[in-house]
Amino acid sequence: RNIYLSLGVSEPKGRNPRLAAVGENISRQDALLSENPGVNHLLEWNPGNHFTDPPGRMMRGYEWAMKSLI
């Protein structure tokens, strides 16, 4: 019921085509989740790429998930 999606704004701009497709795919997933009223979700775009502040990104996801359970 609660889904937290997180991606760095630089990730879809990478040279690797597989990684570059991730931005389009996560946006598509966000749109699909929006069509389901029973699912609470958040897509958060973060500064940097996959390696920018992983602990902070994980913590924001955990905090969002815990608040969503209340």
Instruction: Summarize pLDDT for 16-29 with one digit per residue, the tens.
Output: 888 889 989 999 99
Cα separation, 20 vs 12, whole angstroms: 4
Tell me the CA distances in angstroms from 56 to 2, 22, 37, 63, one per residue in order.
19, 20, 29, 10
In the block, residue with structure tokens 């990684």? 19
Query: pTM of the prediction?
Result: 0.82
By C-alpha distance, which of 40, 55, 52 is closest to 4? Answer: 40
Q: pLDDT tens across 4-56, in order?
A: 999 999 988 888 888 889 989 999 999 999 999 999 999 999 999 888 999 99
DSSP tag of 12:
G
Q: Which residue has the tokens 């920018």?
A: 52
